[in-house]
Amino acid sequence: MGLIEVNGIRVFAFHGCLEEEARIGGRYRVDVQVQGDLSRAEVSDALGDTIDYGRITTLVKEAMAVRSRLIEHVGRRILQALQREWPGPYRWRVRVEKEAPPVNGDVELVAYTLEG
């Protein structure tokens, strides 16, 4: 069983419940993990036999470009895009972090993690 991690995909996006967030946007960071049988790639050394982390980054950026009010919603959209691209017996984990959320207090980030 192998594990690929693509951590710290940085994106500027316009998610949030406040109208201000739709106008000015904010900084986000996305981490993706995928676990599965990657032994074929270990032997073949061929990109087609594994999960392409460059493509993961592209799918995350595409999903983040569509406005959502909640990071839970955008997280689900990212997970579904990954599962469509690589159907099969893979276990995915997606974490979406919103830096400096507009809340009452000094908060570094909020995060939502889901698995599928």
User: What stretch of H or E contains 81?
Assistant: helix 71-85
Residue-level pLDDT at 27: 96
- pLDDT, tens digit (0-9, with 9 covering 90-100), for 7-44: 999 999 999 888 888 888 999 999 999 999 999 999 99
* 80 three-state secondary structure: helix
Residue type, position 113, single letter: T
- pLDDT, tens digit (0-9, with 9 covering 90-100), for 35-66: 999 999 999 999 999 999 999 999 999 999 99
Predicted confidence (pLDDT) at residue 82 exceeds the cutoff of 90: yes
Mean pLDDT of the chain: 95
**Rounded Cα gap, residues 64 and 70, in angstroms:** 11
Give the chain's domain count: 1
User: 88 falls in which pLDDT band (50, 70, 90)?
Assistant: confident
Predicted confidence (pLDDT) at residue 71 exceeds the cutoff of 90: yes
Alpha-helix residue ranges (DSSP H) falling in 25-91: 39-44, 53-64, 71-85
Structural domain boundaries, residue 93: 2-115
User: What does the pLDDT average to over 66-81?
Assistant: 97
CATH code for the domain of 34: 3.30.1130.10
Residue-level pLDDT at 100: 87
- pLDDT, tens digit (0-9, with 9 covering 90-100), for 94-106: 999 999 888 788 8
Residue 45 makes CB contacts below 8 A (sequence gap 6+) with none
**Rounded Cα gap, residues 6 and 95, in angstroms:** 11
